[in-house]
């Protein structure tokens, strides 16, 4: 079946099983490997991308749900790494191994698009489903606040 979507601003057509997880379509069919596979069960947040601006878990989202919609992956967040979150992530050296980080950034980006100046509890609530085995949570929270122009340490 043909699936049409707008991927990072470009029209794409895929010939895939409509039940294929969006994550596999992105990584294996389209070669966008910035989105990671962690658990495959919507438990870790490593695979978060945006579907029409909403953060979704690509490992449990059938590619058919993306039909006619905008999909944004970490590769499409900005053309040149200039998104405020990307800049803050670099300045605060957030990642350790890095595996969870594109999911973290995409979840944070969906939050800031809706709430440009989130409270601490809104940040905590939005980010609570994104696990980091390296424990970079403190730096993630600081970077989100920095990107939002809020005081951070």
User: Which residues would be at the binding site for ligand FES (CB under 6 A)?
Assistant: 37-40, 42-47, 57, 59, 95-101, 132-134, 136
Minimum CB separation of residue 32 from ligand FES in Å reads 15
Cβ(62)–Cβ(122) under 8 Å? no
Tokens (6 digits) for 26: 């992105």
What are 103's two structure tokens? 């999911």
Residue 8 or 136: the one with the smaller Cβ distance to ligand FES is 136
For residue 4, the minimal CB distance to ligand FES (Å) is 24
Q: How far apart are CA 14 and CA 93, in angstroms?
A: 36
Please answer whether residues 11 and 77 qualify as being in contact, where contact means their C-beta atoms are separated by less than 8 angstroms.
Answer: no
Please give the helix or strand (H or E) that residue 108 lies within, else none.
helix 101-114
SS3 118: coil
Shortest separation between residue 117's beta carbon and ligand FES, angstroms: 25
Tell me how far, at minimum, the Cβ of 96 lies from ligand FES, in Å: 4
Give the nearer residue to ligand FES in terms of CB position, either 97 or 113. Answer: 97
Residue number, 4 or 54, with CB nearest to ligand FES: 54
């Amino acid at each position: 079946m043909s699936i049409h979507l707008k991927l990072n601003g470009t029209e794409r057509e895929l010939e895939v099983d409509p039940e294929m997880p969006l994550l596999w379509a992105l990584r294996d069919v389209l070669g966008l490997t910035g989105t990671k596979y962690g658990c495959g069960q919507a438990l870790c947040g490593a695979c978060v991308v945006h579907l029409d601006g909403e953060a979704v878990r690509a490992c449990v989202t059938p590619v058919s749900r993306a039909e006619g919609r905008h999909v944004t992956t970490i590769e499409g967040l900005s053309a040149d790494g200039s998104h405020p979150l990307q800049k803050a992530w670099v300045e605060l050296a957030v990642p350790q191994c890095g595996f969870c980080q594109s999911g973290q950034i995409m979840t944070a980006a969906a939050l800031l698009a809706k709430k440009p100046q989130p409270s601490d509890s809104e940040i905590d609530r939005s980010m609570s489903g994104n696990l980091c085995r390296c424990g970079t949570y403190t730096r993630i929270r600081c970077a989100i606040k920095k990107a939002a122009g809020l005081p951070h340490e």
